[in-house]
Amino acid sequence: MTEQLATTPFGRRPMTLGQISSQLRAKAVAKEAVAHKWQVFHDIRNAREVLGATDRALAILEALLTFHPETALTPDSGLVVFPSNEHLISRANGMSPATLRRHLAVLVQCGLVIRRDSPNGKRYARKGRGGGIEQAYGFDLTPILARAAEFKDLANAVEAEKKAFKRVKEKLTICRRDIVKMIEAGVGEDVPADWRSFRRAYEAIIDRLPRTAPRQVLEVIAQDLEVLWLEINRALESFVESQNSNANESHRERHKQNSNPDSIYEIEQGLREKKEASGSVAETDNVRSLPKRDLPLGMVLSACPDVLDYAKGREIRTWRDFVAAAEQARPALGISPSAWMEAREAMGPENAAVTVASILQRGERISSGGGYLRNLAERARDGKFTVWPMVMALLRAKIEESKPSASAGRAGDGEITRPDDSSAGGNSSWTVSPALLKSLEKPRRP
């Protein structure tokens, strides 16, 4: 009588087409097939997500493999194991009987084992006179042998996918870091480029990035970031090359200037200084009437002393320290990084820091520091704003407040004085005389 290979599960468990497919694969296994059971188990564990197996199911499969006495799996080595539930629970780290039954069903559904149920559902083996097993009822491990090559290919594919996903994540992280820092460098170094467009393009790409995404989506976003990276890097490199070229030309011009005292360089320099002193015809009356020289740092600190609270060691000695203190004060005023970057781009780092310090000084009168700074940045971009009026207004208010009590020790007309550094420390306060304040505000003739 021919042994029946196809069997149906005991009890109320239904028969499925997947189980029939697993039995057909087991029936078609070659007689000379051989596989290392722990190597195949390693491949199954790596490909468990693709197969749909759970961690508990793999723990049970590992326990089933321990009941097979041989390391090599062959068709004639008796691949049906028949441990009791008690023995399985013991070797599967003591899981509950209900958990055991549930995950045994997972192994069957994934096609990793086949149920060979006895007529009464018990697991046992019938032995012959010589002690050999003639018929066994339990779990057939033949699918592990039949699908060993498939499991290896799946494990390799999963490993390759993990490496590809890791590479695209690394590429995405590096591109994001490089773009942000290159934009900051371009704005901070006053490189001529449309940095607002670059920043908006970057934000638009990042907005498409979900919290969890497959590799294909990340690759598309990484490609877009790489294109943007190339554009920004090209702008920076072009500026650096032009600066190097200008430096070489300037070096040659200095040699010419030494040989000719009446060179055109000195004449153009004098014309440019004269033009800056008189103002440009295209400017508005308010902007044209303001001084063309930079604000002294001491005058700014006198008008905006509150910024010292955000300086390192409460000390500001250089413009670099002042810009760093304004950067620290920015979050307290509700100014976003993008608004700060726009202001730096439109005004320059020092003037943007002066504007933030002025907003901080008048904090109780400004409800939205970020919106106020963006508005001033737009006006500065159109050539309709400078920081002189803000600082002058703060100095005027300070002088008005000190009039009732200031009866002695005033600065002379047309002077900016500072107390002795030995008494005031590194952050000495400057005093601006009213006469000088009026002269600075007086319109210059074009």
pLDDT digit string (tens) for 256-313?
444 343 332 332 344 344 333 343 333 334 444 444 457 788 888 888 999 898 988 8
Q: Provide CB contacts within 8 A for 345, sequence distance 6+.
A: 187, 195, 196, 377
Q: What is the rounded distance in angstroms from the CA atom of residue 196 to the CA atom of residue 203?
A: 11
Tally Cβ neighbours within 10 Å of residue 273: 11
Three-state DSSP string of 105-137: HHHHHCCCCEEECCCCCCCEEEECCCCCEEEEE
Look up the pTM and report it: 0.49
β-pairing, 80-81 with 35-36? unpaired
In Å, how far are 45, 61, 145, 247 from 42, measured between CA atoms?
5, 11, 13, 64
Residue 125's φ and ψ, nearest 5 degrees, are: -130, 140
Q: What is the rounded distance in angstroms from the CA atom of residue 312 to the CA atom of residue 426?
A: 12
**Amino acid at position 37, single letter:** K
**Amino acid at position 32, single letter:** E
Torsion of CA 40, 43, 49, 54, to 10 degrees: 50
Q: For residue 404, is pLDDT > 70?
A: no
pLDDT of 229 reads: 93
| Higher per-residue pLDDT: 399 or 253 | 399
Percent of the chain residues past pLDDT 70, beyond the cut: 74
- Which H/E stretch holds residue 266? helix 264-278
Question: Worst-scoring range by mean pLDDT, 180-189, 218-227, 424-433?
Answer: 424-433
Q: What is the rounded distance in angstroms from the CA atom of residue 122 to the CA atom of residue 10?
A: 9
Question: Worst-scoring range by mean pLDDT, 129-133, 240-244, 321-325, 380-384?
Answer: 129-133
Q: For residue 397, is pLDDT > 50?
A: yes
pLDDT category of residue 247 using cuts at 50, 70 and 90: low
pLDDT of 201 reads: 92
Q: What is the rounded distance in angstroms from the CA atom of residue 307 to the CA atom of residue 200?
A: 30
The DSSP symbol for 271 reads: H
Among 98, 143, 118, 104, residue whose Cα is nearest residue 8: 118
Q: Provide CB contacts within 8 A for 76, sequence distance 6+.
A: 31
In Å, how far are 159, 355, 437 from 390, measured between CA atoms?
62, 8, 13
DSSP calls for 148-202: HHHHHHHHHHHHHHHHHHHHHHHHHHHHHHHHHHHHHHHHHTT-SS-HHHHHHHH
Q: What is the rounded distance in angstroms from the CA atom of residue 221 to the CA atom of residue 226?
A: 9
Q: For residue 356, is pLDDT > 80?
A: yes
Contact between residue 66 and residue 87 where contact means Cβ atoms under 8 Å apart = no
